[in-house]
Structures are given as structure tokens and as C-alpha cells.
Amino acid sequence: MEFSTLTTSSLHQSKTAALAVGIFKDGVLSPAADTIDQASEGAIRAVLKSEFTGKAGSHLVLRNLSGVRAERIILVGLGDQKKYQATGHASAEAVFARYCVDARVTEAVSSLASIDCPGTTLAARARAFAVAMGNAVYHYDATLSKKADHPAPRLKKVSTWVARGDAPDARTGLDQGKAVASGMALCRLLGDLPGNVCTPAYLGQTAKDLAGEFKTLKAEVLGQKQIEALGMGSFLSVAAGSMEPPAFIVLRHTPASAGSGGKKASTPAGQAPIVLVGKGLTFDSGGISLKPAKGMDEMKYDMCGAASVLGTMRAVAELDLDREVIGVVASCENMPGQRANKPGDVVTSMSGQTIEVLNTDAEGRLVLCDALTYVERFKPAAVIDIATLTGACVVALGHVNTGLFSSDDTLATQLLDASREANDPTWRLPIDDAYQKQLKSRFADIANIGGPSAGAITAACFLSRFTDAYPWAHLDIAGTAWTTGSNKGASGRPVPLLMQYLIDQSGQANS
């Protein structure tokens, strides 16, 4: 899909299939809406008296207005003007994007980013517009035999209308938003694919395909013997019950400017990389500690941490972000095979620490701990792991906020700030040393569960034992990576949060 800026002062003369203008509660028109209203001799104000209240999340379609070249004017409700903030703007853009897809238009213009919004910038609003449009056109048909019965959206070109002097900022936001949307689409596709298609090998091939598409990326996929040589006994113990071989994926982005001799942005030479680590359980049966049958099909989404890493790496490469970023994915299945982990087994991690496996369904931390040890070799500036780790996090935060855990206040603050900027909400939970005693084991250095209390916290405490060498944060996305019910599907989160954080840490933060 093509994204562009529209800077004409005569908005009513813009020919398009659909033009969005904002209406606040109680009939307050945005500047663009006022322009269209005047050109159409009061057509908008006429319907406000009886048909449209400006309630947030609502919209009304006006067709073939006199004096206006757009085929449709979409009135988008913005709610109370005094409470209008970044989240309200993002929601309004999503309402318009959904309409465009449902109406099967091929091109559209939104004026919503031009509306001042406290606590945000024009670039951020343009980025939100692009993300909303990109998300709306995501279409899954990979495993459908009759694709013609499920036609893809027709939207091909979208524009955001801004004042002429604001075009450069809007362009920056559109470019960033387009990359984020592309990354989210890949993340969602990988999550939505069934476990018999999206295997560890499939994730490895996806990384290689990305490296083939983008010159700044280099992929390495380690197999069983290489993983064994590294001493990843904890990771391999989870993979042992499955016929599918494990894959350990390293995808590295080196900015083009780093080796081109060209002018480099403000990133200091030799700055340590930022590392993203994703949990890649392409199916999680629970192993010997078998999960209930109801809803087990959704355990194909247990690799959404890995999917978000690969999606973020795609967005990083598309933008050629001026910061070295390394994505690491530890991928396998957790199945109740003959060689599977048993409750009471003791395994040895790559770090040398021994782990008593009290519950084989607490396998994500067994996979991640070896990956967190592996990334020490990069001497990273920061490490962020992303995992659908605990049902306890869903109980604590529901499906709105991603759980954030970190022993580094600076990193935690940076991620919280990025989450607000990206409209990808996150909430920090404690990781106090007092919780560590719940992981005590008589037969190993550490147990892999800490009992029923504070399950999300003790899972993070477990991971923290493998992260002494660098600043570290853990994102538990068990409640936010996918939706259930009739609209079941991967959400693409937390790609927006991760990309905003990486943009903030790069030389392109203010470009």
C-alpha cells in the first residue's frame, strides 16, 4: 500500500473515494470538517442536529456533497475535545481504516492527523494513521482453499492531509508507521499460521528470507547439533519430546551507513547492540503436564514472542534504523513424547545452573534462559525478551496491558515511555528479590515454578537469574499477543512498542 501526504489548502477540491474529517462531541468541528462544511453549504452541521453526536468510535457517511469532489465524506467521532489524546486519535484512525476496508475503496484521505492532540506530535499522529491503515488491510488466507470467497481488501493508496509546512514531519511518521505495519503484518501471519505449518524450521526460513530481502540483515540458524555444542541443556530438554527439530535463530541488523563510508547519524561508532529475544514455542501442549483440551488450539500462538522479534527486525531493516539490533529466537515444540521432560527432572542450563522441572508446562522460561545466556557474547547495551509466558499475567492485567518486568529502572522507563508514544500499553510489575525464595529447590539450583502465588513475577524472577551481564527487561505478552473468540487472531503486539523504543534509541529519533 502506498502512503503519501496531501497538503492542498483546498481540501474540498481533493478527489478521493473517502475523506475522513473529525467531529468532537456536542458538534464541535475540526478545521478540516469546517472547511468541508463551508464548501457544502452547511451539509455537515445539518446532520449534526439529528444524526451524529461525535461520540468516540462512531462514524457517519455523507455521499456526493455539493461543492465537494470526494465521493464520500466520513464523519469520525472524536468524543470530548477536552479529553482528546493520542489514544483517541489512534482509535479514530482505526475507525476510518475499518470503514475503508469494509467499503472496499481503493484509495482514501484522512485529515485526522492535522488535529492538534495534547501529548503527541504530528509525526506520531501520521505514524498512527499508517499503522491503523496497515492493520486494517491485514488479510489471512494462507490455509484457505477457496481464497476467492475471502477477497483481500482493495485499499492501495492512502494519504494524510496536513498543512504544507508540516509535510516533512508527516512523511517521517508515515515512513515509520508503514514499517511498523509491515512488521505487525509479518508477526500476525506467523502467529495465525497453524503449528503444522509454522514450525521451528519455518521460523528459521523466515529469518533467512528476511536476510535475502534486506541487505542490512544477516541470518544464522543453528540446528540440534550446534545447540548441543553450546550446552543449551535447558532449551533442548523442552524440545526432546517432539519430532520437530529445534532451531536457534540469530538475525542481525547492521545499518547500511556503518559499512558504506557514508555519513552516519548521531549513533556513536561502536555503540553496543540492542538485543531482542523471542520465545518461539510453535506449539505448546504443556508436555507431560498436559494442558486442558479446551482452547489448546490457541497454543499455536505460543511463538508470538518470536513472531514479534521477526516482525520488529523486518521493520528495523525497512527503515534501515541507524542502530545495530540483533534478534534471537529459541524455537521448538513442547510435546509429551517418549523423551519429554518429566516433573522432577533436573536439567543443566547453558549458564551451568541446574533447574528442577516441577511443571513441564512452565517451559518458556527453560527455553529463554539459555537464549539469555547466549546473548552475553554480544556485550549488549540492553536485552529485551518477549514471551507469551504466563497465564498469571493475563489474570493480573487482562488483555489490555503487556506486563513489563525489569531490574533496570532506566530501561523500564524507556519502554514505558515508548509504549505510551506507540499506543501499545504496558504496565510495570515488581520483581523484588523477596519473590526469589519461591523458586528454591532441594535438588537443583533453582525450580522452574514458584507456586500459585505471583506466577508472572516468579517467572520473571527465574529469567532474571540469567541476566546479570547486561540491562534487561522482560515483556509478558500472554494477554496481548492474540485475541480469542470469533475474531481469533494474532494482534501484532508488541511490535509498535519495540519499534518506538528502538527509534528512540537510534539516531533517527528526531529525524
Integer CA distances (angstroms), 296 to 299, 348, 359, 461, 484, in order: 5, 29, 17, 27, 12
The set of catalytic residues is: 291, 365
Peptide bond into 292 cis (omega under 30): no
pLDDT score for 345: 98
pLDDT score for 508: 72
Q: Are 304 and 253 in contact (CB under 8 A)?
A: no
Give strand pairing partners of 220: 250
Report the b/e string of 410-449 with b at 16+ CB within 10 A: ebbebbbebbbbbbbbbebbebeeebbebbeeeebbbbbb
Integer CA distances (angstroms), 404 to 189, 389, 473, in order: 24, 12, 7
pLDDT score for 201: 98
pLDDT score for 164: 92
**Which parts of the chain sit beneath pLDDT 70?**
259-270, 509-511
Helices (H), 144-283: 167-192, 200-213, 224-229, 233-239, 256-260
DSSP count for the chain of H helices, then E strands: 15, 20
Q: What are phi and psi of 496, to 5 degrees?
A: -60, -45
In degrees, rounded to 5, the angle at the alpha carbon of residue 182 between the alpha carbons of residues 423 and 94 is 45
* Dihedral of the alpha carbons of 76, 80, 81, 85, in degrees to the nearest 10: -80
Integer CA distances (angstroms), 110 to 3, 6, 65, 406, 469, in order: 11, 9, 17, 39, 47
pLDDT tens column, 456-482: 999 999 999 999 999 999 999 999 999
CA end-to-end distance (rounded Å), the chain: 23
DSSP one-letter string for 53-102? ---TT-EEEEES-TT--SSEEEEEEEE-GGG--HHHHHHHHHHHHHHHHH
pLDDT score for 307: 99
What global pTM score does this model have? 0.96
Distance of CA 239 to the CA centre of its chain: 26
pLDDT score for 113: 98
pLDDT score for 509: 61
Provide CB contacts within 8 A for 74, sequence distance 6+.
Answer: 18, 19, 20, 21, 59, 60, 61, 62, 96, 99
Q: Report the alpha-carbon distance of residue 427 to residue 415 in Å, rounded.
A: 10
pLDDT score for 268: 47
pLDDT tens column, 98-145: 999 999 999 999 999 999 998 899 999 999 999 999 999 999 999 999
pLDDT score for 16: 97
Q: Can you list the domains of the chain with their CATH numbers? A: 2-162 (3.40.220.10), 179-258+269-504 (3.40.630.10)
